[in-house]
Chain A
Amino acid sequence: MKLLTLNFLTCARRTCKTSPSSFPLHPREAELEILESELNLVFLRNILPRLMWSELRGIGEELGLPSLPESPPSREDLVTKPSPAKPSSVTEPSSVEEEGGEGEEVPSQTAKDLHRLLLETTIKEGKLVCGNCGHEYAVKEGVANFLLPGHLV
């Protein structure tokens, strides 16, 4: 399970929904696995406004990962300033809709680190704990189990 997924999940108990401490869920005894994937700069740029940054920082800290800066990176932080050249480079058809032909953008180290954290760092085994009710959700073989026993639904 990818760390970015935790940005969209909360405790499944109905009574926890109104409590701010039911988000984010806290990983415990987590066994992490790095699964490499292709970096998508457009995606990283457009996911920035959706990231709950301080919560994500907290999760990173709980997992013992290198700490994140206090404020999220800006869109500009994600690209390495291109060397001024090649004014009329041919852009691929697939990149036509991406920012008017800036086909040569190079992801910065910040973008690579963010990609590694959000999409390549996965929880293989472990638990996710609700900060409000303390319920523990198991993660097995990368699949989180949010099914509640009958008396908690």
Chain B
Amino acid sequence: MLPTPSTAHVSFDLVYEPAEDSFLLLDTLSSLSETAFLRERFSGATTEAGCSSAPLVLEVGVGSGVVLAFVAANAHSVFGRDDVLTLGTDINSFACSAASQTVRSAVTDHKSHSTFLDIVNGDLASSVRPNSVDVFVFNPPYVPAELPDRSRHDAFNARSTGQKSTTFEQESYLLELSYAGGKDGMEVTNRMLEQIPSTLDSERGVAYVLLCAQNKPEAVKQRIREWGSDWRAETVGSSGKKAGWEKLQIVRIWRST
């Protein structure tokens, strides 16, 4: 078991608290089968020039930052190399500052040699340079619940000047953003899936996306396979088995020729 990063400094009134979904991502990314897959895909850290450049890990919707911090702190165990770059985004600016601290502390605490870039405040991966991401991680808002009204986002996304505490309305809004996924819990995930081919590195890119049973994971995987004959989508981690149903699962998306 690799150590779980500390999120003791995070205010869970404003930022999604690590839960079963977060821990499933940690377990999956550090499982024997995934570390073997990732080490092979990103091997060659020490070969001649140009053979294997430093891999970039992007997590969208970092929340507390626990997942990205875990990858950053345990990069050597997961990838078998120390030159891993980590970058995150979140729509919630409070999450950005909190996650940034989570990753920085985890890297220091675990004496990791990986390189943390930043957490930027943005919508999904919209600000990331196309086809630059090697490993993409997404724990989406997957609960079938109405999407929050974003018209007041700017007002809720920061503490207004002189305001010491946040309001209940603001807190509810920010937390809703972190879990409400619209119809089938798939509205945000679908928007992200559409961007995956243009976000991932076209050769070695790989994505890990969490889905719940109500997201109809089998149909989602089938749709991804229809992107083209080289696209693959497989379940590589799951939890909460109930009457033959996996409550949560991690789907790995990649290209293979």
Checking A5, A14, A143, A150 against B151 with a beta-carbon cut-off of 8 angstroms, the contacting residue is A150
Checking B82, B96, B128 against A9 with a beta-carbon cut-off of 8 angstroms, the contacting residue is B128
Residues from chain A with a CB closer than 8 A to the CB of B46 are: 42, 97-100
Who on chain B is nearest to A24 by CB? B129
A34 contacts B by Cβ under 8 Å: no
Q: Are B97 and A43 in contact (CB under 8 A)?
A: no
Q: Are B54 and A43 in contact (CB under 8 A)?
A: yes
Question: Among the listed stretches B23-31, B111-119, B228-236, which one makes contact with chain A, having 4 or more residues with CB under 8 Å of it?
Answer: B111-119
Known contacts A143-B96, A147-B122; decide if A42 and B128 are in contact (CB<8 Å).
no
A63 contacts B by Cβ under 8 Å: no
Q: Are B127 and A5 in contact (CB under 8 A)?
A: no
Q: Are A146 and B53 in contact (CB under 8 A)?
A: no
Who on chain B is nearest to A14 by CB? B126
Alpha-carbon separation in the docked complex, A17 to B154 (Å): 24
A72-99 contact mask (Cβ, 8 Å, vs B): 1 or 0: 0011000000000000000000000111
Q: Are B93 and A46 in contact (CB under 8 A)?
A: no
Alpha-carbon separation in the docked complex, A46 to B79 (Å): 14
Alpha-carbon separation in the docked complex, A142 to B117 (Å): 11
Can you list 20 A-B pairs with a CB-CB distance of less than 8 A? Answer: A1-B118, A4-B115, A7-B129, A8-B128, A10-B128, A10-B130, A14-B126, A42-B82, A43-B82, A43-B113, A46-B52, A47-B85, A49-B49, A50-B56, A75-B49, A119-B115, A144-B121, A144-B122, A145-B122, A150-B151
User: Shortest Cβ distance from B31 into chain A, in angstroms?
Assistant: 21
Q: Are A143 and B119 in contact (CB under 8 A)?
A: yes
Q: Are A146 and B120 in contact (CB under 8 A)?
A: yes
Checking B81, B85, B127, B157 against A10 with a beta-carbon cut-off of 8 angstroms, the contacting residue is B127
Alpha-carbon separation in the docked complex, A17 to B129 (Å): 8
Checking B83, B150, B198 against A43 with a beta-carbon cut-off of 8 angstroms, the contacting residue is B83
A12 contacts B by Cβ under 8 Å: yes
Known contacts A42-B45, A43-B54, A49-B53; decide if A8 and B132 are in contact (CB<8 Å).
yes
Alpha-carbon separation in the docked complex, A12 to B89 (Å): 12
Alpha-carbon separation in the docked complex, A99 to B91 (Å): 40
Q: Are A143 and B120 in contact (CB under 8 A)?
A: yes
User: Shortest Cβ distance from B256 into chain A, in angstroms?
Assistant: 23
Residues from chain B with a CB closer than 8 A to the CB of A2 are: 117-118
Who on chain A is nearest to B126 by CB? A12
Known contacts A10-B128, A47-B54; decide if A5 and B117 are in contact (CB<8 Å).
yes
User: Shortest Cβ distance from B76 into chain A, in angstroms?
Assistant: 8
User: Shortest Cβ distance from A55 into chain B, in angstroms?
Assistant: 10
User: Shortest Cβ distance from A136 into chain B, in angstroms?
Assistant: 13
Q: Are B45 and A46 in contact (CB under 8 A)?
A: yes
A102-126 contact mask (Cβ, 8 Å, vs B): 1 or 0: 0000000000000000010000000
Who on chain A is nearest to B97 by CB? A143
A65 contacts B by Cβ under 8 Å: no
Q: Are A141 and B97 in contact (CB under 8 A)?
A: yes
Residues from chain A with a CB closer than 8 A to the CB of B126 are: 12, 14, 146, 148
